[in-house]
Amino acid sequence: MTNPESTGAESTGTESIGADPAAPGSARLDVAGEWQRVSPKYIPVDMIGTAIFGAIATAVSFVPFWIGWPEGWLVGVGVATIFVITLALTPRRVRAIGYLLRDDDLLFRRGIMFQRFVAVPYGRMQLVDISRGPVARAFGLAELKFVTAAASSGVLIPGLPLAEAEQLRDHLVAVAETRRAGL
């Protein structure tokens, strides 16, 4: 095995030994480049949404206890514990969300334990949509949604500052138009 430093080749730390990432049929995505992360302001937005849903779900899970099942409180405490753990992991989960603009597609990632990487080709984008809920709007954030012909390939990037979301939308629409023209 050769040392990348001695050959002058740069290593990004994402290559597998003996695999050529540019080779046809390669199973690995080229994830080298500068990943753009969502805004840190998205952490409280996500925590507020999780807390509201958690409070409602916890209240509903106490119903068996309230209607006379003495051990029903365990269900409520269990659900509350799950949401407290979810809230504790929210900052790390939000920091794991990001996107990378590549030559032919946009690569999106999310997840800590269960990671998801989605590559959306520019020429296949049919809709690029910006939406803002009331909490996200209060923090100056928006979410960008890409829709393609395949139903399972919809991507949602939450927690983008509004100006960045609009700029990214305009860029993606312009690039998608030029890529579709060649079809």
Q: Label residue 126 exposed, middle or buried (CB < 10 Å: 0-12, 13-18, 19+).
A: exposed
pLDDT 10s per residue in the chain (183 long)?
444 333 333 333 333 333 444 445 445 666 777 899 999 999 999 999 999 999 999 999 999 999 988 888 999 999 999 999 999 999 999 999 999 998 888 899 999 889 988 888 888 888 889 999 999 999 999 999 988 877 666 789 999 999 999 999 999 988 888 876 555
Topology of 97-183 in CATH?
PH-domain like (2.30.29)
What percent of the chain shows pLDDT beyond 70? Answer: 80
pLDDT at position 21 is 45
CA–CA separation, 106 vs 88, rounded Å? 30
The one-character DSSP state at 163 is H
pLDDT tens-digit readout, 74-105? 999 999 999 999 999 999 999 999 999 988 88
Q: Is the pTM of this model over 0.85?
A: no
CB 72 within 8 A of CB 79: no
Residue that has been written with the tokens 């597998």 in this structure: 16
CA torsion through residues 133, 135, 141, 145, sign? negative
Sign of the dihedral defined by the CA atoms of residues 28, 34, 38, 43, in that order? positive
- Which tokens in the block code for residue 52? 């509201």
- Tell me how far apart the alpha carbons of residues 8 and 12 are, in angstroms, rounded to a whole number: 13
